[in-house]
Amino acid sequence: MSTQILMPALSPTMTEGKLARWLKKVGEDVRAGDVIAEIETDKATMEVEAVDEGKLSQILVEEGTDGVAVNTPIATLSADGEAASETGAKPGAPAPTAAKQPAPEPLEDRKVVADKAVAAQVTPASTAAAPERDWGPTKPMTVREALRDAMAAEMRADDRVFLLGEEVAQYQGAYKISQGLLDEFGPRRIIDTPITEHGFTGMAVGAAMDGLRPIVEFMTFNFAMQAIDQIINSAAKTLYMSGGQMGCPIVFRGPNGAASRVAAQHSQDYASWYAHCPGLKVVAPWSAADAKGLLRTAIRDPNPVIVLENEILYGQTFECPTDEGFTVPIGKAKVERTGKHVTIVAYSIMVGVAMKAAETLAEQGIEAEVINLRSLRPLDTAAIVESVKKTNRVVTVEEGWPYAGIGAEIAMQVIEHCFDWLDAPPVRVHGLDIPLPYAANLEKLALPQPPWVVDAVKKIV
Amino acid sequence: MAQAAETRKRGKDSESSNSVTSQPPATNQAMSREQLVKAYGDMLLIRRFEEKAGQLYGMGLIGGFCHLYIGQEAVVVGIQMALSEGDQVITSYRDHGHMLATGMEPRGVMAELTGRSGGYSKGKGGSMHMFSKEKRFFGGHGIVGAQVSLGTGLAMANWYRGNDRVCATYFGDGASSQGQVYESFNLAALMKLPCIYVIENNKYGMGTSLERASASHDLSVNGAPWSIPGAKVDGMDVTAVKAAADVAVAHCRSGAGPYLMEVQTYRYRGHSMSDPAKYRTRDEVQKMRTERDCIEAVRHLLEAAGMGEDEFKAIDAAVKARVQEAADFAQSSPEPDERELWTDVLVEG
Ligand SMILES: Cc1ncc(C[n+]2csc(CCOP(=O)(O)OP(=O)(O)O)c2C)c(N)n1
Ligand SMILES: [Mg+2]
């Protein structure tokens, strides 16, 4: 029985090196851990330790040899008593290289597989034709109440669900989303945290890994930047890294985007940040029904879900189904208004802006179809494509910055899936590409308004 | 960097004689009459300025978040009196008082609050984000705790340059829970950075009392694992703050490393302008205002030192006039030009 010693890689990037020196001679005994040679790379001189025991029976690469490729056999080690001459010729000795490795797939095939995966991500096959379910009677409700009711309903149904964050309990929520929850569920399940986002987010992710279902409220998503490492590196990647053993059923929620005059550090739309990341789901409700239905689904989802709310919407009232079982599926957009001349795609507060613009356009004889995305990841590409095939034009509306934004992604999806149906290039409406200014006049100029959408539509209709 | 460290005049390891327990402030807390007059005037300026800002907010002239400093004036005034030209200051969003104390102009601060072109950030930063290179005031930061690492970096710049400047880094009791505070403590202690960490303990972070937010109730020893000496200071007494700050400044200037001050103070107003304040009683606030007010305390000292009503009136009138002038300017200064939207994103050229 003999073993070949191969030229080791001593750094992740090393492809070859110089065999500087042998520290053992042919015929010498070698024990595991013995330093047998020195190797020079461009960066350092390193020692090579033996991993097996035996007698050094052959040196295949003399010391001083340059450019020895990684994995080249450099010596042979034989079990005690074996003759040196036998080693190489011994029948049945394993080949030095891993000849049994499966041949790599041809590149073409890999690309097809990858494309299919992307398509599956962004186009849930089943949603294309499924109509929006009718949940029956509705009643007016604010987005704030809808969010609270969603959490309360899920907490009643499942003891694993709890809420934590700054000021969520005694203060009843910095924006009063958790009003009344401490009274109903007590301090075990409605937990005030110190101002320690990175710590409490990591704590919640850990609890989720062990099967609890935390809802983490960020006072605003601006402060989630303190914790984003735990959201991306811990929550989003754990399922994958554990080979599917250990998931992270958790909801991260809070107001996202500009509020009013709170300036650059407190006014940012994080939609494209989170939507960028595999391993997360991202939703951005507009109406009270969106808020209630999506948050309930998010809490039940076995994955980390980011719920991007909006402070300005909290106080707005919408009709919301009264059905106890009401939910909204993640990954399904909603057509808020039908039309045949142009498709306007928006999410969160910008749906309202798009709806206002559609009214103005209607007065001018232009029928806009408004799609409320609701989910940003997975994206309901099927709904967008279906609409664009009808209208042949698309305008996207987002509060965030244009560069690598949601609008850019939607435009690309449209180009990939229905380029031939387009009669004009897609147009993006978005917040100005600047940190948000404080001054009232400047702030107004920096965020999308209905007339911006009207103008964008008129460019292409 | 190694070279820079060698050229430094101070910071020998053997110099440190850090005790980790709370140190009593220096014994001689007396201020000269002249100093008391200055402290009185500076605190009064902040008080009147903030009252005016509250009014303008009520009139809709100031928007967004606006965090008033009323009640805490002695902290920043006492510490500023111990600092000298070239020392840096950095703080959170509750920053109006700090700016006035560093000598920034009330009119420029107020015009920033109203979002006008005459403001320190041309109207683009607002209440929480103002800076003055000239006065070495480095902001005005909206993210709780972030300024603690930044202040450590300002102190590092002093260390790197080998000068004897110090940096006063202010943060709240609530902020003291943030992890980066302790990462900063370690860095500052390891590198012996001249950073005075000032915890303005006003008992609440928003609606959460220190007791509910922190398992460590004596914040002055929060630097103990890194042997950062700490002092607990009565922040309603400007003479005590100044005396404690003298010790802190001397420690930092000598090259002995960082120093921690927990200054116990109180904010009379809500956290920001929209605070239902259900987390504390009216009585609690009233008691502090009537029994512990920092401006009244100095007034008594000055009266005892024989200062007459006329002199008080003169100071009051001068302060009032400055604040009124600032308020007028903040309303007459034009809104920023639309082109300002696109400036200052990156350094051009
Ligand atoms: C990282 C981060 N989390 C939360 C907030 C919201 N917030 C603003 S001020 C504040 C309380 C801070 O309290 P403290 O540090 O005691 O300072 P004080 O307001 O009392 O001066 C909170 C939670 C924030 N601005 N940044
Ligand atoms: Mg506080």
A426, pLDDT greater than 50: yes
Task: Say yes or no: A78 and A170 in one domain.
Answer: no
Return the ∠ at Cα A343 (arms to A339 and A348), rounded to 5°: 110
Domains identified in chain A, total number: 3
**ipTM tops 0.90:** no
Quick one: pLDDT at residue A129? 54
Q: State the average pLDDT over residues B176-198.
A: 97
- Pairwise CA distance, residues A197 & A212, whole Å: 19
Q: Determine, for residues A439 and B336 on separate chains, whether the beta-carbon distance falls below 8 Å.
A: yes
A96, pLDDT greater than 50: no
Does residue B202's CB lie within 6 angstroms of at least one atom of ligand 1? yes
Quick one: pLDDT at residue B109? 98
B345, two tokens? 């994103």
The CATH number given to whatever domain includes residue A291 is 3.40.50.970
Q: Is B306 left (phi over 0), alpha (psi -120 to 50) or beta?
A: left
Question: What is the distance in angstroms between the Cα of A431 and the nearest Cα belonging to chain B?
Answer: 12
Query: CB-based contact (8 Å) between B206 and chain A?
Result: yes
Given 3-state DSSP classes, what are the helix, strand and coil percentages for chain B, each rounded to the nearest 5?
A: 50, 10, 40
Task: Say yes or no: A205 and A293 in one domain.
Answer: yes
Task: Say yes or no: A262 and A365 in one domain.
Answer: no
Span of A16-30, A166-180, B16-30, B218-232 with lowest mean pLDDT: B16-30
CA dihedral B264, B270, B273, B274 (to 10 degrees): 140
Of the candidates A167, A196, A438, the beta carbon closest to that of B123 is on: A438
- Per the annotation, the verdict on A363 as an active-site residue is no
A95, pLDDT greater than 50: no
Return the ∠ at Cα A102 (arms to A99 and A107), rounded to 5°: 125
Q: Determine, for residues B341 and A259 on separate chains, whether the beta-carbon distance falls below 8 Å.
A: no
A-chain residues near B273 (CB < 8 A): none
Quick one: pLDDT at residue A51? 77
Mean pLDDT (chain A) is 90
Of the candidates B144, B145, B341, the beta carbon closest to that of A442 is on: B341
Q: Determine, for residues A260 and B64 on separate chains, whether the beta-carbon distance falls below 8 Å.
A: yes
Q: Determine, for residues B336 and A174 on separate chains, whether the beta-carbon distance falls below 8 Å.
A: no
Task: Say yes or no: A317 and A338 in one domain.
Answer: no
Q: Which residue of chain B has the CA closest to A193? A: B213
Length of chain B: 349
Domain residue limits, chain B: 37-328
Does residue A219's CB lie within 6 angstroms of at least one atom of ligand 1? yes
A261, A289, A321 - which closes a domain? A321
Q: Which residue of chain A has the CA closest to B114? A: A439
Q: Yes or no: say if B60 and B30 are a contact pair by the CB < 8 Å rule.
A: no
State the distance from the centre of ligand 1 to the C-alpha of A269, rounded, in angstroms.
Answer: 20
B-chain residues near A220 (CB < 8 A): none
State which residues form the domain around A405.
334-460
A268, pLDDT greater than 60: yes
Q: pLDDT tens for residues A164-186? A: 999 999 999 999 999 999 999 99
Catalytic annotation, pick one of A145, A154, A217, A266: A266
A321, A343, A369 - which closes a domain? A321
Task: Say yes or no: A165 and A299 in one domain.
Answer: yes
A102, pLDDT greater than 60: no
Does A316 reside within a domain? yes
Backbone angles phi, psi at B11, to 5 degrees: 95, 30
Q: Determine, for residues A434 and B341 on separate chains, whether the beta-carbon distance falls below 8 Å.
A: yes
- Pairwise CA distance, residues B312 & B299, whole Å: 9
Q: pLDDT tens for residues B233-266? A: 999 999 999 999 999 999 999 999 999 999 999 9
Quick one: pLDDT at residue A82? 54
A-chain residues near B115 (CB < 8 A): 261, 438-442
CA-to-CA separations, B16 to A448, B152, B186, B251, in angstroms, rounded: 57, 19, 15, 9
Task: Say yes or no: A220 and A342 in one domain.
Answer: no
Peptide bond into A378 cis (omega under 30): yes
- Pairwise CA distance, residues A117 & A297, whole Å: 23
Query: CB-based contact (8 Å) between B271 and chain A?
Result: no
CA-to-CA separations, B262 to B125, B197, B312, in angstroms, rounded: 29, 8, 31
Task: Say yes or no: A44 and A70 in one domain.
Answer: yes
> Which residues have beta carbons under 5 A from ligand 2 (an ion)?
B 172-174, 202, 205
The CATH number given to whatever domain includes residue A49 is 2.40.50.100
Q: How many CB atoms lie within 10 A of CB A40?
A: 15
Mean pLDDT (chain B) is 92
Query: CB-based contact (8 Å) between B342 and chain A?
Result: yes
A56, A86, A116 - which closes a domain? A86
Which ligand 1 atom is the nearest neighbour of the CA of B267? 20
Supply the CATH classification number for the domain B37-328: 3.40.50.970
Task: Say yes or no: A286 and A339 in one domain.
Answer: no
Task: Say yes or no: A270 and A143 in one domain.
Answer: yes
Classify strands A54-59 and A29-30 as parallel, antiparallel or unpaired: antiparallel
B22, pLDDT greater than 80: no
Identify which of B134, B154, B144 has the alpha carbon closest to the alpha carbon of residue B252: B154
B-chain residues near A230 (CB < 8 A): none
Does A209 reside within a domain? yes
Mutation probe of ligand 1 site: the residue of A166, A170, A195, A201 with most atoms within 8 A of C-beta: A195
Q: How far is CA A111 from the centre of its chain?
A: 21
Quick one: pLDDT at residue A119? 47
Mutation probe of ligand 1 site: the residue of A168, A171, A216, A219 with most atoms within 8 A of C-beta: A219
Q: pLDDT tens for residues A36-77? A: 999 887 777 788 888 788 899 999 999 999 999 988 999 999
Of the candidates A170, A262, A434, the beta carbon closest to that of B345 is on: A434
pLDDT-based confidence at B29, cuts 50/70/90? low
Quick one: pLDDT at residue B28? 46
Task: Say yes or no: A201 and A279 in one domain.
Answer: yes
Query: CB-based contact (8 Å) between B113 and chain A?
Result: no
Does residue B172's CB lie within 6 angstroms of at least one atom of ligand 1? yes
Identify which of A63, A58, A60 has the alpha carbon closest to the alpha carbon of residue A74: A60
To test the contact with chain B by mutation, choose from A191, A196, A268 the residue with the greatest count of B C-beta atoms within 10 A, namely A196
Interface of B with A in 297-326 (CB under 8 A): none
Interface of B with A in 52-111 (CB under 8 A): 63-65
Q: Determine, for residues A263 and B142 on separate chains, whether the beta-carbon distance falls below 8 Å.
A: yes
A354, pLDDT greater than 60: yes
pLDDT-based confidence at B2, cuts 50/70/90? very low
State the distance from the centre of ligand 2 to the C-alpha of B80, rounded, in angstroms.
Answer: 20
- Pairwise CA distance, residues B17 & A155, whole Å: 54
Q: Determine, for residues A442 and B340 on separate chains, whether the beta-carbon distance falls below 8 Å.
A: yes
- Per the annotation, the verdict on A184 as an active-site residue is no
Does A65 reside within a domain? yes
Task: Say yes or no: A171 and A61 in one domain.
Answer: no
- Pairwise CA distance, residues A64 & A78, whole Å: 24
- Pairwise CA distance, residues A135 & A327, whole Å: 9
pLDDT-based confidence at A80, cuts 50/70/90? low
Does residue B271's CB lie within 6 angstroms of at least one atom of ligand 1? yes
pTM (two decimals): 0.82
A93, pLDDT greater than 50: no
Question: What is the distance in angstroms between the Cα of A54 and the nearest Cα belonging to chain B?
Answer: 48
Task: Say yes or no: A156 and A286 in one domain.
Answer: yes
State the distance from the centre of ligand 1 to the C-alpha of B290, rounded, in angstroms.
Answer: 27
B248, two tokens? 């802190």
CA-to-CA separations, A209 to A48, A253, A304, in angstroms, rounded: 40, 18, 11
Q: Yes or no: say if A412 and B320 are a contact pair by the CB < 8 Å rule.
A: no
B-chain residues near A197 (CB < 8 A): 178
- Pairwise CA distance, residues B116 & B105, whole Å: 15
